[in-house]
Each structure stands twice: as structure tokens, then as C-alpha cells.
Amino acid sequence: MKTRKLGDTLEVSALGLGCMSMTSAYGPASDKAEMIRLIRAAHDRGLTLFDTAEAYGPFLNEELVGEALAPIRDQVVIATKFGFDISPTGERGLGLDSRPKHIREVVEAALRRLKTDRIDILYQHRVDPAVPIEDVAGTVKALIAEGKVKHFGLSEAGVETIRRAHAVQPVTAVQSEYSLFYRGPEAGTLAVLEELGIGFVPFSPLGAGFLTGKIDETTTFDPSDFRNIVPRFSAEARKANMALVNIVKTVAVPKGATPAQVALAWLLAQKPWIVPIPRTTKLHRLEENLGAVDLVLTPDDLRTIDEALSKLKLEGERLPEAFLETTGR
């Protein structure tokens, strides 16, 4: 497995594994024993970065990841997150909570669930406007000094927030949505990360599954699947946005690759410090995703994709507005 560096010092596999869908958001939770086998199979195939959060479940995902990785703890990088109003018994509040006291409570609980003595990357899951980012960064800085956290991360943070946090405690990684389906970080985030030497970890690198080419306007999602409320996943939007998948297929087919592999390879080609974390609950999809690491997109391939996308207007917003603020996506 090829590796990449997040920040100055953290070396990880070129792809990581997003574990959220194993317990939440994309339908009912998967069988725990099967997911433990899948996580360990991912490591056997060279993956070292595993992404979770207290909000996924809540708590169930951290417990799953902790149990799966306990036998190989020193060989992997575990990333988790704080920042939502979640009680110790798992009841979700309506908002955010990045008060220093709460951050410390979350970290202590996460360490127990993850069966570890340190968190490799601790992300603020969403920026809390009620708490100065300097206070958040300072709290994480203290946790790093205590050895409970190794690296500081931010999720879905704006440019000024990134700069202010980084001035207090160097940020190793920023995690935000980024893919051929949503290119928002190109508007300023990527330039700032390059300037400051911060790694980037795109979530939903396959557009919540749309870029696999396995979803069309006839696809039916489980009632508990969050995509049912996403404007970009309405039947009308899916039908219109198939034009994007067709663009990806024009590059994939001559290479004997899948649309998912091209979509991931496109991300990997953008910057050497980008490490996507595609989710999956299936071994054959994991192996398909891994094929992207060795898939070479030529300058002509990249130009073909970019020129075609410049003429395409995707239909539907990427998420409902309230979803960004009140969920652990």
C-alpha cells in the first residue's frame, strides 16, 4: 500500500476507511462480527487510517472500531471526533458543544470505547460558534501534551477558523466533503491547507455512493437512510446527475476500471497530501476501492474530466441546511 503524509509527521495509507456507515446513516447497522472482520481485512490489505466519531451511533461506531483494532492497535491510526451535544447515555441534543470541559469528557469516554490510551487524530466535528476556536485548539493542545491525543484535526471548518486554530495548535488534517460530486474545497480551503502544510481527508469521496454508478433514479433507499432527505438524491436530481457518472465512465472504461476507482484516483491526483476515506460495508467494494491507489490518470484524463465537468451543472444541494448543523455527518 502506498502511503501519504498528513501534516508534517503523520504517515498513513493513501486511502483510509470511513467506518460511519457500519452503524448509522446509510440504513440499519450492519452485523458487528462481519464489520470487525471487514475492518481487520482492510488492515490486512494495507489500510492504516480508520475514521470514526462519538456521534456515529452515538457511540456504537467507536465501540466497533475499538474492538476491531485492539489486536493491532499499534499498527493503525485511529481518528475520532467531538463537538456535538450528546449525553453520556447517548441522547442527542439539538446542537453543538465544544466547551473545553465537554471536549475532555468526550475524549475520556472515547478512549474507553476505543480500547486505547491515545487518539491519533482528534477532530472537532463541527465548528461551535459559541466557543472561540482558540479555546478549542488550546484544549486539544493540552490533551496532546498529556499524551491522550497525538494530532489535532478540524471537520468542515472555514478558512479563517483553520488559520486561527493552527496558530494555537498546529492542525494535522482537515476533513470535509470533497469529490467529483462536490468540489467546494477548491474555492479556498485547499490553497490554505497547502500554504500551512495541513493534510486533507475527504469524506464522501464517492458522492455518498453516487459516483459508483450503482445508483440511478429508480434506486430505493432504506427508510432510515439519510439520502432520502438530501436534495441531490431526489429521483429527479439523480436522473439529471447521471451525466456526471457518464463522464467518469468515459475515462474508466478504456482503462478497465470502475467509476468508483476513477473518482478516487481523481482525488488522489489533486494533491499528494489528500487521503480519501471511502466508506463500505462489503469486502468486494473495499477491494475495488483499493484498486484506485494504483490507477494512474494522465494529464489528458484529468483534462477530459475537468472540461466535461465545467459544462455540467449538478442538480440539487449536497445536504439540507439543517443537516450540516444538527447531525454527525
Point out the residues that are catalytic.
56
Q: Rounded to whole angstroms, how far apart are CA atoms 222 and 76?
A: 32
Pairing state between β 84-86 and 92-96: antiparallel
Kindly state the cell numbers that stand for 65.
Answer: 472500531
Q: Rounded to whole angstroms, how far apart are CA atoms 159 and 192?
A: 7
Q: What is the DSSP letter of 89?
A: T
* Cis amide linkage into residue 58, ω under 30° from 0: yes
Q: What are phi and psi of 104, to 5 degrees?
A: -65, -40
Q: Rounded to whole angstroms, how far apart are CA atoms 75 and 89?
A: 31
Angle CA 171–176–178, to nearest 5: 130
Contact 114, 62 (CB under 8 A): yes
Show Cβ contacts of residue 274 under 8 Å, excluding neighbours closer than 6 positions: 4, 178, 199, 200, 201, 202, 267, 268
Q: Rounded to whole angstroms, how far apart are CA atoms 133 and 48?
A: 29
Kindly state the cell numbers that stand for 306.
Answer: 475537468
Angle CA 281–293–159, to nearest 5: 85
- From the CB of residue 225, how many other CB atoms can be counted at a distance below 10 Å? 18
**Which is nearest to 157 in space by CA: 181, 204, 192?**
192
Q: Rounded to whole angstroms, how far apart are CA atoms 275 and 17?
A: 10
Q: Rounded to whole angstroms, how far apart are CA atoms 101 and 160?
A: 24
* Residue given cell 504517515 in the structure block: 11
Kindly state the cell numbers that stand for 60.
Answer: 456504537
